[in-house]
Amino acid sequence: MNRQCTVWGLSAALLGISGVANADVEWWLIFGGGEQPNREMFYADASSVVELKKESGMKEFPKTVDVLQIHEAASGPEYVNYQFQFQCESKLMRVVIATAHMRSGTNVMAPAPPGWFPLRYNWTQQPYQFACHPENRTKNGMFNVNARGADVAQMCEITRRMIWKNPPVDSAVKERPSASVMRDIQTLLGAPGQ
């Protein structure tokens, strides 16, 4: 994907956003990949990055971040919402929420792996870098999409129509079973087996 064209296209598309639901939301594109018709885009909300209280036995204050993963494949979920927590110095992560929003309108909550586990060398490095090293966001290939206040539905619409240039997906498309979606989410997270 040509990054500069994507930046220009996304910026132009976002200039037309109106009717914001939450003016505090600040979306950043943190990762994207795949080939048509199986592309994915990952966005993180800078306003969601906050330092939390230390729990008993922790050496540091964990940070939290909300991530939105938008799927192109018609058989997959429309998008997945994640909430991660990171112990930055220890490079530990915890998945608080992983919810797939299916095209049929149903939600599938993947069971979060229990407790803290070592950060994997996969796409979860990007939200870790985003939350723990905000000064390096641009250097790490992330960019602010200037969509302050855009809601999830608007981000999905912009990604599909303006970036991927896809027509709307027919909601009658046969979805994969929920168990398959949950298994894919757990694999994608690189979380230890249940």
Question: What are 118-136's pLDDT values in tens digits?
Answer: 998 889 999 999 999 999 9
What band does 74 get if pLDDT is binned at 50, 70 and 90? confident
In a domain, 171, yes or no: yes
pLDDT of residue 175: 63
| CA–CA gap between residue 40 and residue 78 (Å, rounded) | 10
Q: What is the Cα 67 distance to its own chain's centre?
A: 3
Closest CA to 179 of 109, 79, 98: 109
Structure tokens at 58: 């922790």
* Cα dist from 169 to 59, 93, 165, 174, whole Å: 47, 34, 12, 11
pLDDT of residue 75: 84
In a domain, 44, yes or no: yes
pTM: 0.81
Number of domains in the chain: 1
**Residues of the domain holding 32:** 3-189
Q: What is the pLDDT of residues 128-164, one digit of tens each?
A: 999 999 999 999 999 999 878 899 999 999 899 888 9
In a domain, 194, yes or no: no
- pLDDT at 10 > cutoff 70: no
